[in-house]
Amino acid sequence: MDSLKGLQPEAVMTYFEELTKIPRGSGNEQAVSDYLVEFAKQHGLEVIQEPCNNVIIKKPGTPGYENAKTVILQGHMDIVCVKEDSLDFDFEKDPIPLVVEGDFIRTAGTTLGADNGIAIAMTMAILASKDIPHPPIIGLVTVDEEAGMGGVMALDPENISGDILINLDSEEEGVALSSCAGGVRSALRVPVETEAVPSGYKGYKLVVSGLKGGHSGAEIDKNRANAIKLLGRVLETLVTNVECRIGAMTGGDKMNAIAKYVEGQVAVQEKDLALFQKTLQDIQSVFNNEYALADPGISVTVAEAPVDSVFDLASANSVVAAMRLIPFGPQSMSEGIQGLVESSSNVGVLSTVNGHVVLESAIRSSVRTLKDEISDRISTIALLVDGQHELTASYPEWAFKPESEIRELMKVVYKETTGKELKVDAIHAGLECGFLKEKVGDIDMISIGPDMADVHTPKEHVSISSIERVYKFLLEVLKRIN
């Protein structure tokens, strides 16, 4: 490949490209975990590979830094695997197709994995270096961050200790994060009974597509549409105005990605086909008007397709009600930080399995009780539709710390090296720092990263020049911890 050859910083780009060749979707991290272990052994570094496949690599301080505070550089090895709907690509075997376009690294139709591959590449470059002055370094690379933070939850505290933790999972240069939202995974299961398609009905596949999608934390306030919520509106309109029945449905990619594609089976009485087509055209016009600026590419299409069975009327009503009622988008805004989402919910995955329609959501909040309140509302929906609601993989918020030496040091270094003020902020997206506080103790933490955008979508891209600037900034910060 060598798509990034010649780009700076050379070591970071080399390791990043190597990572893009290795399958590392959430739950499929064995190969990349083994790669990191082999990297550590090749460089004579102490390494621990935990049973869950977290990797911890330890490097002593360089001469003059032997007794300095120990710094943990932390990121996650897994990525969100999303591609363009029409692209023939297998995340379990195909290397990510890198494209360099001006100042950006992109792909040819898949997620890039800069979230969080750039963090791992920076950490590897420092661990492999012979000429970078630094205090004792621990590289902590976790698994399963994108699918529920299972790696950091499984982290054995006996394997790691330090004084400062620099999380490298942020996405905006010049901004240092000092707190983040907590979250929980939600699964609402609506039971469905099926029956044969009535006589005189024709089967169709109904598709809602063309949406931007996006990160359910970073883009949740962009007023983008959610394909699952739109399908609920389409189905409600159809069953109200047309003689039709609904069947199995599926859509969305990941719980923490705003759903950009969804499809469902419908059966329409032949006498109502013209009304069916007209109704779909009308509702697409409504969507295109409502999202003319925020999400202008929405498409509602149908194609003839075999439908073996449909939901009975009671089940169909319950499914549509759940899809219409389940919360999506910001639920409250912060009073303390202007423009910051305080709590939100994203219904990211829709499936029909084992006699149930399942709606999976990512719930986030920087206030724990508000996270519980959203969960309680979904539990109420479950009661109304005779369904079940399950919560898993809850992770804590990361509260702001009034006193922070690493934060103050970064502010000084950033001002001296750029002439600009470092912005200290909070993020609505989840970071592993909340769990790390519980696992490693109340150590000094901060989160930084280069400019990247459209993460968790096939349009994900990262700035080459920003990677170089942030890496140099990180090296200068490490140099001053002595």
CA distance 33 to 54: 7
Beta-strand pair 356-365/46-49: unpaired
Which stretches within 8-94 are classed as H helix?
A: 10-20, 30-42
CA distance 18 to 342: 37
CA distance 36 to 22: 11
Contact yes or no for 230/197 (Cβ under 8 A): no
Tell me the torsion sign for CA atoms 53, 105, 127, 413. negative
**What are the tens digits of pLDDT across the range 286-298?**
999 999 999 999 9
Q: pLDDT value at position 428?
A: 86
From the centroid of its chain, how far is CA 102?
Answer: 26
Residues sharing a CB contact under 8 Å with residue 11, sequence separation 6 or more, in sequence order: 121, 124, 125, 128, 129
Assign 173 a pLDDT band (cuts: 50, 70, 90).
very high
Selection from 463, 446, 479, 461 nearest residue 175 by Cα: 446
Burial of 274 (0-12, 13-18, 19+ CB in 10 A): exposed
Residue 130 has pLDDT above 80, yes or no: yes
Contact yes or no for 309/192 (Cβ under 8 A): no
Is 184-395 in the same CATH topology as 10-170+431-479?
A: no
**What are the tens digits of pLDDT across the range 185-205?**
999 999 999 999 999 999 999
Could you tell me the residue ranges of all domains in the chain? Answer: 10-170+431-479, 184-395
The mean predicted confidence, pLDDT, of the chain is 95
Q: What is the mean pLDDT of residues 213-238?
A: 95
Q: E strands, 288-433, where?
A: 299-304, 309-311, 329-333, 341-353, 356-365, 388-395, 423-430
Q: pLDDT value at position 58?
A: 98
Residue 215 has pLDDT above 90, yes or no: no
**What are the tens digits of pLDDT across the range 4-59?**
999 999 999 999 999 999 999 999 999 999 999 999 999 999 999 999 999 999 99
Q: What is the mean pLDDT of residues 226-246?
A: 97
Residue 241 has pLDDT above 70, yes or no: yes
Residue 148 has pLDDT above 80, yes or no: no
Which residues are designated catalytic?
Answer: 78, 145
Identity of the amino acid at 286: V
Q: pLDDT value at position 2?
A: 87
Please give the C-alpha separations between residue 399 and each of 14, 150, 374, in angstroms, as whole numbers.
Answer: 35, 20, 20
**What are the tens digits of pLDDT across the range 374-401?**
999 999 999 999 999 999 988 888 888 8
Please give the C-alpha separations between residue 368 and each of 168, 180, 183, 343, 395, in angstroms, as whole numbers.
Answer: 24, 12, 8, 9, 10
Residue 1 has pLDDT above 70, yes or no: no
Contact yes or no for 363/264 (Cβ under 8 A): no
Give domain 10-170+431-479's CATH architecture: 3-Layer(aba) Sandwich (3.40)
Give domain 184-395's CATH architecture: 2-Layer Sandwich (3.30)
CA distance 182 to 343: 9
| Backbone φ, ψ for residue 62 (5° rounding) | -75, 165
Q: pLDDT value at position 193?
A: 98
What is the CA angle 445-446-451, rounded to 5? 160
Assigned token pair, 372: 């519980």
Assigned token pair, 36: 């990191």
Whole-number CA gyration radius for the chain = 24
Residue 152 has pLDDT above 70, yes or no: yes
**What are the tens digits of pLDDT across the range 418-442?**
999 999 988 887 789 988 988 998 8
